[in-house]
Amino acid sequence: MIDQKGIFNNIYKNLVTPILKKDTGIDAEYLTNFSLSLLTFSSNNRDWPLISRIIKSLNQEFCVVDKRLHQKICGIDFCNPVGLAAGFDKNGNAANIWKEFGFGFAEIGTVTKFAQSGNPKPRLFRLAKEQAALNRMGFNNHGAENLVKNFLKQNVDLKKHRKNNCLGINFGKSKITSLSKATEDYLTSLKLLIPYCDYAVINVSSPNTEGLRKLQDPILLKELLREVKNLDNCPPLFVKIAPDLSYKDIEDICQLIIDENIDGIIATNTSLDRLGFEQRKIKQTGLLLSEENGGLSGKPLQRKANKIIRHIHNIDNNINLIGVGGIDSPESAWERICSGASLVQIYTGWIYKGPQLVPNILNGILKQINIHQLSNVREAIGSNLEWIE
């Protein structure tokens, strides 16, 4: 008998999870787009009685409300520390829905100035046994102007009127824009979307746009951040970095963040490092993982991403950190927070573990708060407290 209180999780476990146990079968990008189309329809028609009831049921099943999970960071109210990472809802099609899955915030994008189709398909691959994914999507999105239209279509409120629906927007450089004109490209997108984003992310770390990671060079990054910072009504700014930087490069970026009074860092993006799985064959192409282009995400990235968060927190514990990469359980989320992350984001882990992952993480954090006799989640940040069963 299906537990009515967990009906959506049961549907996911019975219909989707079996697909995710194999590398092959339904194409990973097709499955993602199909899921997003259902969410888009729901977001656009949330006032329909049936959809309204479904959304209410989602909220009841996945939302965990507790004041000990609340934080105010950079003047933004986060009702809980678990967010949806950028990359799933690139065009903001389901911007009004993510809070119903229990997320404390959602990051839309990556969005670019110009619409672009991204890299040739196939470009997204499951590594089921490793609970990982390889992607070389290439910032496929419909462009900044279209994102504004999507927000208007869904009646997404301007940030100054919005309650309990925290949205970040992740900005990237258009593929056709040269590095010398990258700043102008970012600025155009930001000017259009500032009214809608609680915080903005400058993405200079995707491995799938040629030359983009060169913008992590402190000199180029300083020029870009200064121009963005000077925009009228500029929201809190975060920089998303790659996991493949040397610690020296990370330290240089941290110093820049401090010097330029940037609000924080998101660590990390996907990795070009194959993390010990170089000989793993991608069945759809017949090539080894070491021979494939693209960034690796999911469980294999967990340890490396956590070390980077810990390293940055040790450099300066005043830098606001959002931890992402391989978080797939309450334990891994707690570890990332205790290593220095104020907030965490999930994507690949959420796909494999299903929507129940969000409330599981939040309830797990609350359990650890009780065990360690803390007042709130903020007290756990950078504490190095262990997970206790």
Q: What angle do CA 238, 242, 244 make, to 5 degrees?
A: 155
Q: Is 378 annotated as a binding residue?
A: no
Is 298 annotated to bind a ligand? Reply is yes
Tell me whether residue 109 is in a domain. Answer: yes
Among 206, 297, 339, 342, the active-site one is 206
Instruction: Report how many domains make up the chain.
Output: 1
Asked whether residue 353 is marked as a ligand-binding residue, the answer is: no
Q: What are phi and psi of 342, to 5 degrees?
A: -75, -30
Alpha-carbon separation of residue 229 from 116, 206, 242 (angstroms): 26, 22, 22
Q: Where are the alpha helices (DSSP H) in the chain?
A: 7-11, 17-20, 28-44, 49-62, 144-153, 182-193, 218-229, 247-259, 302-315, 330-339, 348-353, 357-371
Residue 88 annotated as binding? yes
User: What pLDDT, in 10s, does the model give residues 349-379?
Assistant: 999 999 999 999 999 999 999 999 999 999 9
What DSSP assignment string belongs to 248-282? HHHHHHHHHHHHTT--EEEE---BSS-TT-TT-EE
Q: Angle at Cα 336 formed by Cα 334 and Cα 339, nearest 5°?
A: 110
Tell me which residues of the chain have a pLDDT lower than 50: 1-4
Residue 1 lies in a domain: no
- Which amino acid appears at position 109 of this protein? G
347 assigned ligand-binding residue: yes
Catalytic annotation present for 117: no
β-pairing verdict for 237-241 and 199-203 = parallel
The whole model's pTM is what? 0.95
Q: Is residue 281 part of a domain?
A: yes
Q: What is the CATH number for 200?
A: 3.20.20.70
Residue 389 belongs to some domain of the structure: no
pLDDT tens figures, 306-349? 999 999 999 999 999 999 999 999 999 999 999 999 999 999 99
Question: Does any domain span residue 116?
Answer: yes
Residue 191 lies in a domain: yes
Within a domain: 277: yes
In a domain, 386, yes or no: no
Quote the domain boundaries for residue 11.
Answer: 7-380
